[in-house]
A and B are shown apart, each in its own frame.
Chain A
Amino acid sequence: MFKKVFLLLFLQLIIVSFNAQETNAVLLSKKTTYTVHENIKLEFNIKNDTLIKLYCTNSYGSILLKPTILKDKISFDIPKFLSKKRGILYWKTINFKETISGKISISSQQQPRTLETYIGPPSIDAGGLDYTMLVVIPTDSLDNPILDNSNVDVKYQFLKSERKVPIKTKNLIAYRNIYSPRKSGRMIVSSESYGLNSKEFDVNIMPAIATNFKIYYHRNHDYADGNQITTFYTSIIKDKNKNIVSDGSYIEFYITNKKGGILKASGTTINGVAHTKIIHPDFEESWKVQAFFIGISQSNVINLTYKKVIEDFNTQFFDNNREIKIGPLTSFMDQLIPDGLAVKLFIYKENKIVGELFKESNQGYASFYLNPNIYENGSYRMVVETAGIKKEYNNIKLW
């Protein structure tokens, strides 16, 4: 009987001592929230055991730690390069009888050290529709994005207005859309968080797209003399907020003539006005002109007419009719027409065109010579055309 009791007691003792060994690894450090600048130390009350290690993982990677052995406990110092990063630090013991694991939440500091600021796009249209975006990542002294819901002020100046808008950080960043003012110019933007200021950024506010405009013309006289120049120009082209479009905007002038043909001339704007020049036609003509800021806006249509300058002209035949002299060609005041008026001679034989000759007038005259090697003796029909007037001569005999 006594033996039995003794045996039972002995057994119990063994069981108790086993239990004591089983449960002796206890985490002594109870703190689970830290900020990035604090040192983190994990202590366990476990006897010296060199095999013991701690696995540690943070946002960027994982390591294994060796313990520091004290009298009746061991401790692990989490290295600075892990403890200084914001996020969850997860740890697990290795070679303990029971794996103990835990999470430490490391928060960043409130006070930022740097304001990483990004702004874009760098130029926007005036008028309040277009906007640029300012993104700020305030980071603390250990390069962590500061706490969520922190204050950031966005400051911007344009002409006489200066504004300051408070925003909050969210998802590690803070951002603000800055809409363009009505006027074009340059806007200065910066940000501030807890007394720390960013550097200055500037945003170009470009004029918005142009509105429709008017065109005008200027000419010395309205005669179709093929010599003078007509100038077309636009009104000051502006966007809807009266900002003058950027210099160098390309304006195309489309001229539709009597026959429906199109002539083009172009110019670029200076101070919102584009000029272009075109020489007068040399025959009676009427033009419809419209200018386009291609794909953006257009002008009104203006009409111009050019009056005939030559009513009639003489044609003389010399030297076996082989020399043909046309003139005098006289202009609106009976003055000789300026040199360079186009004169054309068409030569037909039996209703087939055999030659087409071209000369420019010189001192009011144009003369042609029909080479006998080309134009054999015979009867020809000739048509002279100049300044939009055609004259026909039948049965001209060459010999």
Chain B
Amino acid sequence: MVSTNKKILRVALMLTYTFIIFILLFLLSSLYTYFNTGADRSAMLHTEVKKVDQYLPKVDWKENGNEGREISDQKVAEILNDYLDSWYVKQASFLSNTRLGIDDYFTKNARKNIFNIIDYNKENNISIESTTLKHNLDLEFFSEDGQLIVLKDNDVVEYKKTLKNNEIIMETSEISDYKAVLLLEDGFWRIRHLVKEATKDFDKTTTAAQFDFTTLKGINYYPQATPWDMYGDQFDINIIKNDFKIIKDAKLNSIRIFVPYADFGKANVKEDKLQKLQLVLDAALEVDLKVVVTLFDFYGNYNVLDWTLNHRHAEKIVDRFKDHKAIIAWDVKNEPNLDFDSRGKANVIAWLEFMIITIKEIDKNHPITIGWSNVESATILKDQLDIISFHYYEDIADLDQQYLTLKTKIKDKPIVLQEFGLSSYGGFWRPFASSEKKQAEYYKEIQKVLTKNSISFMSWTLYDFDVVPKEVLGRLPWRTNPQKKFGFINNKGEKKLSYKYISN
């Protein structure tokens, strides 16, 4: 008995011993591991180049020779880079009234001029939010020793917003000619002298584009499986082609699609995405569907210093597809008026206005519209737009009246009801919410109004969706679930009751 107890005790002691040793070893080894973690040897020198596009105004370099030494393309690239950076740091400094970065791009004497302005503005609580949209550079002179250049920068389009105590005092856009002397110091081309030689207000008028289409009968389109992610990895042109056939067979003549900003690569638009968009447009052309292309989906910054990047994005896409026969209009942005509260109404409108100018400069033929989320906003920028588009999710009984009121304000431009619809989401737990029947009833009623006034329309949307990305409406199920049931066709591919009233 005693020996059994002893044995138990011995085993227990040994186990405890092993356990303690195990714990100790574990602690020591994790300590050892800790001291061996940290920077990777290859990363110690920080040799990797991290260049993020911050500022990409449209730049035209005139190749008409220059006095002095002949210049190489390599040098031109260096000068362009530093000269544009000098504008960027200057604008960043005037915005925050700090001196950061100025030293790198202005010589000792030249930077005093900027510091004086910063100091004055700081004292008076003024800040200037500005950007330049266009530079036309012409090298006048390059010294024989490669250390000095004289640069002419004509028709610089500058947009400035002046804030006092963080309130917008004024907005202005100017077009100016500059001459600059730059010196190569410490490997930077630094501005030594900058002289504004001419300036005037920037003329924002654009020419109107014709919209020669009687009545749009269309639908907002996303594939059933990949809503809000049309050009992702699951992109399948055959599904889209099939959907276009369904749309065409439903006696509709147009669709509205969306180009997500970040997904397409922001300022450096990705070629593979453009090719996917090309396939979609070609597919639409095949069945003779007209396409309204909505740009800047999932974009909501509008920051003045972000403009040049946005412009390069739009430029790339519009330039690529400006001659595509399927496109009937460019929609600059979907429901930008919803960003008025968070981003400032003036900000958003200025952004839209300059985006219209940019797009029109590239594509003079296609009309431009903006998908305002309600009738009240539809008059904003009405003179700049070629088509007025609004979305309507309110009471169907008021539509007729609202439309007629809008029509009195907009006399000479086509009006499109660009989004409308009703979710069929409901069930026994929400008996009063909705149902397929109610949805069908809704479309039946609304089609009466549309037919009566021969309003161009684009309904929301073809399919019921299984997923709604959190970026669209957040994660809350009582918000996302109704959004899944806006379709004319359910997620199994069966036509819902409303399908009967898809067109008039």
Contact = CB atoms under 8 A, between A and B. Distances in A.
A137 B120 contact: no
A61 B94 contact: yes
A172 B150 contact: yes
Given A103-B199, A171-B141, A64 B178 contact: no
Interface string A203-222: 00000000000000000000
B82 interface: no
A171 B140 contact: yes
Given A55-B170, A64-B164, 18 more contacts: A53-B169, A55-B169, A58-B196, A59-B113, A61-B114, A62-B130, A63-B124, A63-B126, A64-B121, A81-B120, A88-B197, A90-B174, A116-B192, A118-B147, A119-B145, A120-B147, A171-B152, A175-B141
Contact of A59 (B124, B162, B169, B195): B195
- Chain B, interface residues (CB within 8 Å), range: 35 or more
A172 B193 contact: yes
Name the residue among B130, B160, B195 with the largest chain A CB count within 10 angstroms.
Answer: B195
A60 B113 contact: yes
Nearest to B118: A61
A61 B128 contact: yes
Interface string A78-93: 0101100111101010
B192 A81 contact: no
Interface string B103-124: 0000001001110111011001
Contact of B181 (A66, A90, A133, A137): A137
A119 B143 CA distance: 9
B148 interface: yes
B172 A88 contact: no
Contact of B170 (A61, A90, A94, A172): A94
* SS of A interface (majority): strand
A143 B113 CA distance: 10
B146 to A, nearest CB: 8
A132 interface: yes
A87 B124 CA distance: 24
Nearest to B66: A171
B117 A143 contact: no
Interface in B132-149: 140-141, 143-148
Contact of A61 (B117, B148, B193): B117
A137 B69 CA distance: 18
Given A61-B90, A137-B181, A143-B109, A86 B195 contact: yes
A185 to B, nearest CB: 20
Contact of A121 (B67, B145, B169, B172): B145
Contacts of B141: 171, 173, 175
A81 B119 CA distance: 11
B160 A87 contact: no
Given A63-B120, A81-B113, A173-B141, A87 B195 contact: yes
